[in-house]
């Protein structure tokens, strides 16, 4: 059963959007005792706050024309090895329809916050070098530029996208603790990538945290020592998971994880199990 797809935090509305679905082998997560393949979602969050329309992360991007390209598409991004059969219809490409269903046009989005610059988070920023959200400023953690953009090939999708936005003067770095919009605070949470950020949402005494890829699979809540092949600094990624567990577990704060398959929003109980959300409002 699918969990809640949207929540409100005071007057701020947050909705989970899906770009695609994939599978990862359990071996992708060192320390995970499981031999099944692990379902993952590639998604984004739509946040409406203080008259702003904000997208947090931007999916994996357009599905390449013709299924034979899919393995190449998957190969290019090291983070999410989409292991479905070539041409699997849902691997990516769903974000525009999800936005339209939410009543949002690309022109409406005035801010895109990227938790980090892995390819499955920047896919709709500027596919084929043309900004998809023409009116949006794009914010990101600057340490990721050296780690992923400078080192990428000239035609790598993330590089083409980010450079296109930069050329329009719409790209800007994040600062730890900065308010990026009313009620939205960016907090540096390095490890998965050096410039990884999470977004804290607070309004009228209510609070939620969009955790990006701090946790990629639910098993990491119970055992933060479980790593991920895509963690840039495995030790720091674990420290960051532990820090957020200390800050959040048992507090009733709603959190969201981009890749959790069925339950984008949840609470973390004091015993570090997932508590599904049954009410619309954040506590």
Binding site residues, Zn ion, CB under 5 A: 79, 120, 213
Residues 226, 29: Cα–Cα separation, whole Å: 6
Looking at the Cβ atoms of 19 and 213, the one nearer to Zn ion is 213
Residues 228, 192: Cα–Cα separation, whole Å: 8
Tell the smallest beta-carbon distance from residue 126 to Zn ion (Å).
18
Tell the smallest beta-carbon distance from residue 119 to Zn ion (Å).
9
Tell the smallest beta-carbon distance from residue 118 to Zn ion (Å).
5
Q: Find the residue with minimal CB distance to Zn ion.
A: 213
Looking at the Cβ atoms of 203 and 213, the one nearer to Zn ion is 213
Phi and psi of 30, rounded to 5°?
-55, 130
Looking at the Cβ atoms of 79 and 206, the one nearer to Zn ion is 79
Looking at the Cβ atoms of 143 and 183, the one nearer to Zn ion is 143
Tell the smallest beta-carbon distance from residue 135 to Zn ion (Å).
25
Query: What is the rounded end-to-end Cα distance, in angstroms, of the chain?
Result: 22
Residues 260, 108: Cα–Cα separation, whole Å: 27
The rounded Cα 65 to chain-centroid distance in angstroms is: 24
Which residues does residue 138 pair with via DSSP β-bridges, in sequence order?
112, 171
Are 250 and 202 a contacting pair, CB within 8 Å?
Answer: no
- Dmax over CA atoms of the chain, in Å, equals 50
Tell the smallest beta-carbon distance from residue 217 to Zn ion (Å).
11
Tokens at 30, concatenated: 């060192």
Looking at the Cβ atoms of 49 and 95, the one nearer to Zn ion is 95
């Amino acid at each position: 059963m699918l969990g809640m797809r949207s929540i409100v935090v005071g007057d701020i509305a947050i909705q989970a959007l899906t770009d695609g679905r994939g599978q990862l082998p359990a071996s992708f997560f060192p320390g995970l005792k499981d031999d099944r393949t692990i379902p993952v979602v590639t998604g984004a969050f739509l946040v409406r706050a203080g008259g702003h329309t904000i997208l947090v992360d931007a999916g994996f991007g357009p599905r390449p024309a013709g299924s034979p390209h899919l393995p190449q598409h998957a190969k290019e991004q090291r983070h999410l090895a989409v292991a479905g059969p070539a041409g699997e219809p849902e691997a990516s490409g769903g974000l525009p329809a999800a936005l339209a269903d939410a009543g949002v046009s690309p022109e409406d989005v005035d801010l895109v916050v990227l938790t980090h610059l892995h390819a499955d988070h920047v896919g709709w920023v500027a596919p084929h070098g043309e900004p998809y959200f023409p009116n949006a400023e794009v914010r990101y953690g600057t340490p990721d530029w050296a780690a992923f953009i400078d080192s990428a090939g000239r035609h790598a999708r993330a590089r083409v996208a980010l450079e296109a936005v930069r050329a329009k003067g719409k790209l800007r770095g994040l600062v730890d603790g900065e308010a990026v919009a009313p009620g939205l605070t960016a907090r540096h949470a390095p490890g998965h990538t050096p410039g990884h950020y999470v977004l804290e949402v607070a309004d009228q005494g209510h609070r939620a945290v969009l955790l990006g890829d701090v946790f990629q699979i639910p098993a990491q809540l119970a055992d933060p020592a479980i790593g991920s092949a895509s963690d840039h600094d495995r030790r720091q990624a674990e420290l960051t998971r532990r820090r957020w567990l200390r800050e959040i577990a048992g507090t009733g704060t709603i959190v969201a994880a981009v890749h959790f398959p069925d339950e984008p929003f949840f609470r973390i109980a004091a015993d570090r199990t997932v508590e599904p959300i049954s009410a619309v409002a954040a506590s």
